Structure 1
Amino acid sequence: MRKITQALSAVCLLLSLSHPAVARPSSPPPLYIGTNAASLADQAPIHWVSVAQIENSLMGRAPMSVGFDIDDTVLFSSPGFWRGKKSWSPDSDDYLKNPDFWQQMNNGWDEFSIPKEVARALIAMHVKRGDRIWFITGRHPTKTESVTKALQDAFLIPAAAMNPVIFAGGKSGRNDKAQWMEQKQVKIYYGDADSDIIAAREAGARGIRVLRASNSTYKPLPQAGAFGEEVIVNSEY
């Protein structure tokens, strides 16, 4: 009997050596990570506002001039910039200094830009108030442009409220957006970039931040609320 037991043990050992061990599947990641009071206290103190709250803050005030940045504020225009980079400078941002790129971007490539929903709501609110709309962009000026009509059509802006787009890019020296805001007496300016908020404050305007979409080609993403400015909720799209 003892010999039979020893023989069976030997067979089992041989079988175990001839078949590699199968690794046990690792435990799946937890569905709920959880948090604690210390983590919650770590959140940045952002001054979030909604379009309705902005409208409420303007109740009783006379119609005014308001300004908007274009790229990543009212339009998701990354497709045009992506094509420009691939066409003129795949390995750098030199295309942004190329007049040929701007001629294309300002004359038709906004057909591939997507109007942002937050912009629809903001512009409709200001049109209802009777405010004058100014688009002040960092794009370079070109001999011709179709951006004004594209914006007017996309956001259904009446001719009485609409003004030609101001192209403030391509010049050195003082912040040109601030200069234009002062000249047009802009009281509120919406933008996604730090430079938009800085320019608004320089011009004595109320700068309100619109979130830049995370898939924008304009990187790095800015830290919205870093200047203590108002930031519109759900404004990345």
Structure 2
Amino acid sequence: MRKITLALSAACLLFSLSHPVVAQASSPTPLYSGTTAAKLAEQAPIHWVSVAQIENSLMGRPPMAVGFDIDDTVLFSSPGFWRGKKTFSPDSEAYLKNPAFWQQMNNGWDEFSIPKESARALIAVHLKRGDQIWFITGRSQTKTESVTKTLQDAFMIPAANMNPVVFTGEQSRQNSKVATLEQKQIKIYYGDADSDITAARDAGARGIRVLRASNSTYKPLPQAGAFGEEVVVNSEY
């Protein structure tokens, strides 16, 4: 019986070797949704940097003013935006222009936002250096806000290093991000959006990209490294 089993196994092996599987060259298997090996091969190199590398690049430099975007940069705030859409405009993005939404978002809904660990590490580096921390966001300004305190508490920022959040949204009376970066003499600005990087460059600051989490409600996801900027590795969370 054993001889018969071995003979059958050998026959199967010979058959498989003489009949190789033909790959379907016209339909490459995607590595994950939205890309293929061919597309990845064409992608421009990304200038990845670690938090430690950023810290080393600042050695010997005096304390400075640094800025951070808020949503998807230091906070995963999609829960509040998700609730806002469901509450104020389930079938459109109109809620983003609704003052009632921003009043809620800026006054309590960040309790559902999750501080990003990459932001903790970056802010810790700048606090150790004695840098001034500014949060400059595209959110609309509201009559009151608790975002400043939320961020100060979440990232344990001493009062001496903390500044009130600057709102630059459509309904805000503040200046644009570029003007604010210039006014506050921001030397480094961290953000997840393309507009954060271009604003930093227009203001003469060093723009560093923080990755937006793939499950963020803010779609489509930007292409990190699109401008040749530095991109913080593992910063999606």
- Give the TM-score normalised by the residue count of structure 2: 0.82
Which residue is 2:216 aligned to? 216
| 1:70-89 paired onto structure 2 within 5 Å | 70-89=70-89
Which residue is 1:131 aligned to? 131
Helix, strand or coil at the partner of 1:71: coil
Structure 1: tracts of 5 or more residues without a match: 1-32
1:122 & 1:79 partners in 2: Cα distance?
A: 23
Question: Relative to structure 1, is the Cα distance of residues 117 and 82 closer, same or farther in structure 2, using a 3 angstrom cutoff?
Answer: same
Which residue is 1:61 aligned to? 61
Which residue is 2:115 aligned to? 115
| 1:36-47 paired onto structure 2 within 5 Å | 41-47=41-47
8 Å contact kept, 1:197–1:209: yes
Q: CA shift at 1:41, angstroms?
A: 4.6
Structure 2: tracts of 5 or more residues without a match: 1-28, 32-36
Q: CA shift at 1:60, angstroms?
A: 0.3
- Give the TM-score normalised by the residue count of structure 1: 0.82
1:151 & 1:40 partners in 2: Cα distance?
A: 37
* Identical-residue share of aligned pairs (%): 83
Pairwise CA RMSD of aligned residues? 2.2
Q: CA shift at 1:38, angstroms?
A: 7.7
Helix, strand or coil at the partner of 1:163: coil
8 Å contact kept, 2:141–2:171: no
Moved more, 104-113 or 175-184: 175-184
Q: CA shift at 1:170, angstroms?
A: 1.4
**One-letter amino acid of the counterpart of residue 96, structure 2:** L
Q: CA shift at 1:42, angstroms?
A: 3.7
**One-letter amino acid of the counterpart of residue 115, structure 1:** P
> Could you give the per-residue CA deviations for residues 75-111 of structure 1, whole angstroms, max 9, x where no partner exists?
0000000000000111110000000000000000000
Bigger Rg, structure 1 or 2? 1
**Number of positions where the alignment pairs a residue of Structure 1 with one of Structure 2:** 204
1:108 & 1:137 partners in 2: Cα distance?
A: 16
Which residue is 1:163 aligned to? 163
**One-letter amino acid of the counterpart of residue 195, structure 2:** S
Q: CA shift at 1:44, angstroms?
A: 2.9
1:236 & 1:176 partners in 2: Cα distance?
A: 26
8 Å contact kept, 2:69–2:196: yes
> Could you give the per-residue CA deviations for residues 18-56 of structure 1, whole angstroms, max 9, x where no partner exists?
xxxxxxxxxxxxxxx8x9x98875443000000000000
Which residue is 1:225 aligned to? 225
8 Å contact kept, 1:175–1:199: no
Which residue is 1:143 aligned to? 143
Which residue is 1:207 aligned to? 207
